[in-house]
Structure 1
Amino acid sequence: MSASMLAILGAAVAIVTALLLARPLNQTTTDDLRRRFGPEFDRAVTRNQGDTAAAERELSERLRRFGGLRVKGLTTDVRERYRTEWTLVQERFIEAPGQTVARANALLNRLAVERGFPAESRERQADALSLHCPRHAQGCRELHECARRAAAGEADTEAMRRAMLAGYELFHELLLPRPQDRKADAQAGHPRPHRPFGVPSQRTAHSTRH
């Protein structure tokens, strides 16, 4: 068999192989999206009226836009300051739930931006968060929307309580120690052990339920 015939045969085999592998590859991409986005995948399907293919396109585009985003490091001192701020804000929930939700929303936004997530819009920020904090990114949307409704007098206390809890889950995750935090501590000249960001005391957690 001539060299040209071998080249043609090789090309034909390559094309057939690619066609045979196309379907499993697409399925793998779907599975990857499900693993990467977790509950956000199901939300995307719901937003697209059950159209899984449309949801996959939406999330693939989100991955393209924000997949290269690098979370910024925060020193231990900065993270502890945020923890203290949240506790002080949360303690005022019973006295002024609407103001508390608004302040918690602003605090969560400030932390997300300092971690390197987009600042230009909360929806874009939530999309980026869904790649790095897929289990709790929805807390960004819930707290922001509840703060808007509370400002308009349209949110009851129970809705605000749920939004605070959802926002706290994301806030907590954003403050968990990361490798880049150690680098930030070292650059600041005072490396310190990374203490876990603890769950609020029972009294504070209970107060948010009322």
Structure 2
Amino acid sequence: MSVGLGIVFGVVVAIITALVLAPPVPHVRFGSLRERFGPELDRVTAQHHGDAKAAERELKARVRRFGNLRPLSLTAPTRERYAAQWADLQGQFVDCPGAAVAKANRLLWQLAVARGYPADSHARQVEALSVHHPRRVDGIRQLHTAAQQSAAGEAEPETMRQAMVSGRLLFEELLTTQPREEGARKARAPRLQNVPVQRTADRTRSLG
């Protein structure tokens, strides 16, 4: 065997050996992502124009960044204070929907920060929330968008109402869900009540 062929043969053997001995790459099945993220998987897939592989990569990256985040506890008085503030904003929505939505957007952000979620940007906070509250995270997106539209004078009343409804679902979940290390014991905050938020000529509508 010539020296050249010997070198080539040695390189091939080294590559094959490396592939055989390399540790397996962890693989998260699409079904596992579906179980974990639910509708959030559909949203991300649509954002990537139906590219399921791209959606998988994005969600796996979120899990790597925020999967180890452990939400902070809230004291009972703190939870009650937040619940009272949200109820007050729902009442304000009757007469000043735009202002109420803007305040609700800030209050939801503040609650998320108090639970230990990122405070440096809206995008990072949403990504972290999507890992731990995937079925409710759209509430913070809707409130954020409605607040921006309201500031620009472009928000429709029904859009703002739906944003308040969706935002409340995430708000309640952030109030009542306690860190895993507390075990099965979950301290429950007072359930937020449905209150009138939009008057019409002949009836009063309520948040769902």
The alignment's TM-score, normalised by the length of structure 2, stands at 0.78
Q: Give the share of equivalent positions with the same residue, in percent.
A: 44
- Residues 209/79 of structure 1: CA separation in 2 closer, same or farther (3 Å cut): closer
Pairwise CA distance, 1:208: 4.0
What letter matches 1:42 in structure 2?
Answer: D
Equivalent residues in 2 for 1:58-137 (5 A)? Answer: 58-137=58-137
- Residues 202/92 of structure 1: CA separation in 2 closer, same or farther (3 Å cut): closer
For residues 43 and 174 of structure 2, what CA distance do their matches in structure 1 show? 21
Pairwise CA distance, 1:33: 1.3
User: Which consecutive residues of structure 2, in runs of 5 or more, have no partner in the other structure?
Assistant: 1-15, 199-203
What letter matches 2:62 in structure 1?
Answer: R
Q: 1:53 and 2:53 equivalent?
A: yes
- Residues 111/68 of structure 1: CA separation in 2 closer, same or farther (3 Å cut): same
Structure (1 or 2) with the greater helix fraction: 1
For residues 53 and 162 of structure 1, what CA distance do their matches in structure 2 show? 31
For residues 73 and 180 of structure 2, what CA distance do their matches in structure 1 show? 5
For residues 177 and 49 of structure 1, what CA distance do their matches in structure 2 show? 33
Contact conserved, 2:143 with 2:167, CA < 8 A, in 1? yes
Structure whose CA Rg is larger: 2
What letter matches 1:147 in structure 2?
Answer: A
Pairwise CA distance, 1:126: 0.7
How big is each residue's C-alpha offset from its partner over 1:84-126, in whole Å with a ceiling of 9 and x where there is no partner?
0000111010100000000000000000000000111111111
Report the equivalent of 1:3.
none
Pairwise CA distance, 1:195: 3.8
- Residues 141/177 of structure 1: CA separation in 2 closer, same or farther (3 Å cut): closer
What letter matches 1:167 in structure 2?
Answer: G
- Residues 49/178 of structure 1: CA separation in 2 closer, same or farther (3 Å cut): same
Contact conserved, 1:93 with 1:207, CA < 8 A, in 2? no
Report the equivalent of 2:172.
172
Q: 1:39 and 2:39 equivalent?
A: yes
What letter matches 1:200 in structure 2?
Answer: Q
Report the equivalent of 1:7.
none
Q: CA RMSD in A?
A: 3.0
The 10-residue stretch of structure 1 (193-202 or 50-59) with the greater mean CA deviation from structure 2: 193-202
User: Is the partner of 1:91 in helix, strand or coil?
Assistant: helix
Contact conserved, 2:70 with 2:179, CA < 8 A, in 1? no
For residues 207 and 50 of structure 2, what CA distance do their matches in structure 1 show? 34
Report the equivalent of 1:5.
none
User: Is the partner of 2:110 in helix, strand or coil?
Assistant: helix
Contact conserved, 1:73 with 1:181, CA < 8 A, in 2? no
User: Is the partner of 1:109 in helix, strand or coil?
Assistant: helix
User: Which consecutive residues of structure 1, in runs of 5 or more, have no partner in the other structure?
Assistant: 1-10, 184-192
Report the equivalent of 2:187.
194
Count the aligned residue pairs.
184
Pairwise CA distance, 1:67: 0.8
